[in-house]
Amino acid sequence: MTERRVLEVITPVVASDGAGVRLKRSIATERLDHLDPFFLFDHFGSENADDYVAGFPLHPHRGIETITYMLDGSVAHRDSIGNSGVVGPGDVQWMTAGSGILHEEMPKMGPRRLDGFQIWVNLPRELKMTRPRYQDVPAARIPEVVRPDGARVRVVAGHVDGVDGAVKEIFAGPTYLDVSLPADGSFEHPVPRGHTALVYVFQGEVTAGGKAVGAPRLAILGDGDVVRLRASGGPARFLLLSAQPLEEPAVRWGPFVMNTQEEIRQALQELRDGTFIKA
């Protein structure tokens, strides 16, 4: 089994999105536009409500799936297909925008800090205009695998030690793991050869193939069969993401990812005409 090595380490850039939410962005920057099929990776977190309270007012998406995973605090959600609710600590919101959806995510002020992630996964050409879908997965439904060496793995999507993740029926067949390691603890996980794989370290430091990656950093992994990581110096926590690349043309414009410029122009025209929502 060939170990996946670290090809590059990305330092997130400070960005502002929505109505003025400050966040750390690793994918969708000048340095790293995308890692097929991942088109956005944001880490939002602050104890200062001014950094996030403006939130993300009603806005459109088409052609992608968006995944919001909360570590702390909560966000109120509503969308154009009738879903609404609150995404709280440990919860996951997995939304398939497909042919088009309007939604808003508004952080709720409270005694807890706001801390979480949003990731965009591209949809293949044949599913770009599929019916929108929403999956709200509470923390209690996300299984946690505890290994004998002390590693703790929340299985959002994918499979670990025979345990299936909470989110299923996703085209790209992604793995989405939240891994906590004790000091000097290690973690090994198979990833299919040819799949895109990355690690986002948000607490402590890990070593992969002799290369140290400290928080907050995104590590792009090379091809291989298995990922091996070790917490170096103290406890560590990271996300491990992997998925099958689509290897299709992709054009991004704001909240849309389509295959051609003409499809982007069509989406914008439909927004102006009031025909954007199909379902």
User: In whole angstroms, what is the distance from residue 228 CA to residue 249 CA?
Assistant: 32
Collect all residues with Cβ–Cβ distance below 8 Å to 276 and sequence separation of at least 6.
60, 62, 100, 102, 267, 270
| Tokens encoding 47 | 């104890």
The reported pLDDT for the residue numbered 173 is 75
The reported pLDDT for the residue numbered 249 is 97
Buried b (16+ CB within 10 A) or exposed e, 121-156: bbbbbeebebebbbbbbeeeebeebebeeebbbbbb
The reported pLDDT for the residue numbered 192 is 95
DSSP tag of 271: H
Query: How much is the pTM?
Result: 0.96
Q: Taking the mean position of all CA atoms in its chain, how far away is CA 171?
A: 15
Rounded alpha-carbon distances, angstroms, from residue 250 to 26, 28, 121: 19, 13, 12
Q: For the chain (length 279 residues), average pLDDT per consecutive 10? A: 96 95 96 97 92 93 96 94 93 94 89 89 95 93 96 97 89 89 97 97 94 97 97 96 96 97 98 91
User: In whole angstroms, what is the distance from residue 219 CA to residue 207 CA?
Assistant: 10
> 6 forms bridges with which residues in the sheet?
221
The reported pLDDT for the residue numbered 63 is 97
The reported pLDDT for the residue numbered 279 is 65
Q: Sketch out the chain's domains with CATH numbers.
A: 6-273 (2.60.120.10)
The reported pLDDT for the residue numbered 243 is 95
